[in-house]
Amino acid sequence: MNEDGDGLLVRRCREGDGRAFAVLVGRYEKPVFNAALRMLRNPEDARDVTQTVFLKVFEHLDDYDPSHRFYSWLYRIALNESINALNRRVRNEPIAGDEADERRGAEDEIASEQAGREVQRALMCLKAEYRAVIVLKHFLDLSYEDIGQVLGLPDKTVKSRLFTARQLLKDALSRNGVIGS
Amino acid sequence: MIDEKYIELIQADVDGELPEQARAELSRYLLAHPEARALRDELGRIHEVLARVTREDPPPGLRETILAAVRFRARPPVRGQGREAAWTAAGMLRYAAVFAGGLLVGAAAWQAGVDRASVFEVSEVAGTMVAGDPVSRSAPVDSFDVALDQVGGTVSLFGSPSMRVVQFDLDFRGPADVVVAHDGEVARFSGFTGESAGRNGRYALVLDGPGSMESPVQVSFVVDGRTVQTGTLHAAAPH
């Protein structure tokens, strides 16, 4: 455990130092929110999941095994909560956020926003297990080893799943005209 | 057809995880196999597209909402009822966690410097309340109705031996503030508008001050700077 970083903060949290938890939330609020957002698409759901994740982390700090990286544990909770939220969604329910996206698009055609919408649309075509590896690799910048820790998978499986996920994503992006087929 | 071994190396190269000792071997393979170069380019394009996607900032107030909820959890058990206090606190945390989305009110509570209360939005409450939650399984101790142009609904007080919760089932049709006075403290929750009605419904305010078990709770609704309705919730409902 890195005692100068997350590990130290976790230890201080366990000792009852609320400020240490505030630092952890500040450090990981954005990646957790973005992971949830890319898994769920809907910002409201992503916000709810982010809150749930940190509350669960706080409740279960004693269960955290300090021999693993804190963020691996945190991101695992984030993905699980995102998948739970996906499962709670009513099937075929229209995904909120499209309308807002279109409205925003009419006002501001910034390239990154356009890319974001298209990528998000393509991501939503993937099964959650494939979306998860894309999110971990590209939005949380994790290594294969870290992804393996988060998902509880061996390195080899991480690589093959990532490759399949990218092929599926490429197909979806090609259908949307974002990249050539 | 690309050998599986080289597919793995190409992907590792694009991901910046290619072992140094494999670099020369991959270079030779790429030179000899155009389909391998095409795959590398294709993976590179996917990387570029994904890199263009903006990392969004979390909604304002989210951090404060989280910390407000955690602060409640962090308090020590009260009045020698440690076991039950801890249990109910965990229940309330789940209560807050399940319904989350307390951004609006949570942020207001934080900004107002409310030190002994945490407030959560609890919309979508029906059917998803956790088993054993003190609020879900008990009847309100006291309640009153609100019927104003700007807001309508019910405000209820629930209690367990170690905690009390004011629950707001409200439909905001226009701008209104909610002022809660309890145990010598006053907290004002502002920012409710008709627009917030899309996700509104149920909010909960957790009271955990030392006098919270007995003191009445006064709830006022303020519209355009004027108090238009005030109701008082009693720990023991008046007979």
Check if the beta carbon of residue A51 is closer than 8 Å to that of residue A32: no
Å from B97 to nearest chain A CA?
5
pLDDT at position B119: 41
Task: Give the count of alpha carbons within 13 A of B129, CB side only.
Answer: 14
DSSP symbols for B123-142: -S-TTTPPTT-TTTTS--SE
CB contact under 8 A, B73 and A58: yes
pLDDT at position B163: 60
Residue B43: list chain A partners with CB under 8 A.
Answer: 166
Most confident of A83-92, B25-34, B117-126: B25-34
pLDDT, average across residues A79-106: 63
pLDDT at position B129: 23
- Tens of pLDDT, residue by residue over B185-220, are 666 676 666 554 433 456 667 665 555 567 788 888
Q: Is the pLDDT of residue B84 over 50?
A: no
Q: Which residues of B touch A (CB under 8 A)?
A: 7-8, 11-12, 15, 17, 42-43, 45-47, 49-59, 62-63, 65-67, 69-71, 73-74, 90, 93, 96-103, 199
pLDDT at position A18: 79
Q: Is the pTM of this model over 0.90?
A: no
What long-range pairs does B208-212 form, CB within 8 A, spacing at least 24?
Answer: B208/B72, B208/B75, B208/B78, B208/B116, B208/B117, B208/B118, B208/B163, B209/B116, B209/B117, B209/B182, B209/B183, B209/B185, B210/B78, B210/B183, B211/B183, B211/B184, B212/B116, B212/B163, B212/B164, B212/B182, B212/B183
Rounded to an integer, what is the distance from CA B223 to the centroid of its chain?
26
Q: Is the pLDDT of residue A80 over 90?
A: yes
Stated as kind and residue range, the H or E segment containing B155 is strand B151-160
- Tens of pLDDT, residue by residue over A60-77, are 888 898 888 999 999 999
Q: Is the pLDDT of residue A38 over 60?
A: yes
Give the nearest partner residue to B100 out of A25, A51, A137, using CB atoms.
Answer: A51
Q: In sequence order, which residues have a C-beta less than 8 Å from that of residue A129 and are 6 or more positions away?
A: A161
On average, the pLDDT of chain B sits at 68
pLDDT at position B134: 38
- Tens of pLDDT, residue by residue over A114-165, are 778 889 999 999 999 999 999 999 999 999 999 999 999 999 999 999 999 9
CB contact under 8 A, B67 and A179: no
DSSP symbols for B33-84: -HHHHHHHHHHHHHHHHHHTSPPPPPPTTHHHHHHHHHHHHHSPP-TT-HHH
Greater confidence (B92 vs A85) lies with: A85
Q: Is the pLDDT of residue B82 over 50?
A: no
Strand pairing class (B226-233; B185-192):
unpaired
CB pairs under 8 A between A and B: 119
CB contact under 8 A, A162 and B11: yes
Place of tokens 């409200």: B170
